[in-house]
Structure 1
Amino acid sequence: MSVKQLHCQLKRLKTDFDLFASQLARTHDVEHLAGPQGQTLGYLYHHQDEEIFVKDIMREIGISKSVASSLMKRMEKNGFIALVASQKDKRYKQVVLTDLGLLKAEKLKTFFQVLHQNLLTGISQEDLAVAMKVMTQIHHNIQERNRNE
């Protein structure tokens, strides 16, 4: 396979994946949660038994303080989260899911399960492992090339 063929196949795969995921997201009512809001909902959903602060979310999804501040305001406005005083230290605000946030997080979980099932139908664990190995190596090659320039 030539590099051109690989490039074309990857572009086609990305286009098809984006279209499929977008359509599926609409049917699961999570269409605008592909980015930081969705990542935050997932993180909070999986850490409901812990006190989570903005700094934890910043670290988890790799965003700056200013981006996190905007994100928290947007999510609060959307009704997904509430900022409440910490039980351990009243000086800090804990980020918690609201009922709507919990509902959206559960819908996201179902969306990803269905997406996973649809994408991997007919693919063995061995083939998937090989595909992951190849993609990881291509990613590594690109990073190495960028470091050397």
Structure 2
Amino acid sequence: MNEPETIGFKIRELSLLIARYMEQTNEDGHIRGPQGFALGYLVHNRHKEIYQKDLEERLSIRKPTASNLVDRMIKNGFLTTAPSQKDKRLKRLIVTEKAIETTFEIEKQVEAIEKVLKQGISEEELAQFFATIQKLKQNIQI
């Protein structure tokens, strides 16, 4: 099998190109990658009790990865924790004002990148792309 023509290779290649583009166009040095995705989820759900296990599910990451992510976000001043009001054994994740401000900046950057990515692609092609990605995800989920 010709490796560059595999689905996994093409997805990885596209992911790396997007990351590289984001780094080159990121004038303000905002966070990127998993912290950015996690912040978006947490900020937009900040009125709910969110726990580390919610990040694991939402980002499709394992417990140790989520734990490291939460620790980095606390260290960077984006999160604090507090005991759950429902279950005192759990710590809920609480976003800081810094996290909210940073998330809105990241979202502006994401909108700009999405605009670049969608150039020359019709609505029908995009719909088919998303449908195909959904099928790929279903096929590989364990």
- Does TM-score exceed 0.5, indicating one fold? yes
Q: Which residue of 2 aligns with 1:114?
A: 112
Look up the SS of the partner of 1:27 in the other structure: coil
Q: Highest CA radius of gyration, 1 or 2? A: 1
Q: Which residue of 2 aligns with 1:101?
A: 99
Question: Paired residues, what number?
Answer: 133
Following TM superposition, the consecutive aligned residue runs of length 4 or more in structure 1 with deviations greater than 3 angstroms are 3-7, 13-19, 129-133
- Alpha-carbon separation, structure 1, partners of 2:126 and 2:106: 23
Cα separation, partners in 2 of 1:4 and 1:55, compared to 1, 3 Å: closer
- Alpha-carbon separation, structure 2, partners of 1:75 and 1:5: 35
- Alpha-carbon separation, structure 2, partners of 1:127 and 1:44: 31
1:68 equivalent in alignment to 2:66: yes
Q: CA deviation at 1:111?
A: 1.3
Cα separation, partners in 2 of 1:104 and 1:124, compared to 1, 3 Å: same
Q: Which residue of 1 aligns with 2:29?
A: 29
Q: CA deviation at 1:124?
A: 2.1
- Alpha-carbon separation, structure 1, partners of 2:85 and 2:4: 57
Look up the SS of the partner of 2:126 in the other structure: helix
Structure 2: gaps of 5 or more residues: none
> What RMSD over aligned residues (CA atoms) do the two structures have, in Å?
3.2
- Alpha-carbon separation, structure 2, partners of 1:5 and 1:55: 35
TM-score, with structure 1 as normaliser = 0.69
Q: CA deviation at 1:47?
A: 0.9
* Identity score, percent: 31
Q: Which residue of 2 aligns with 1:19?
A: 20
Letter in 1 for 2:27: T
Structure 1: gaps of 5 or more residues: 144-149
TM-score, with structure 2 as normaliser = 0.72
Look up the SS of the partner of 2:93 in the other structure: strand
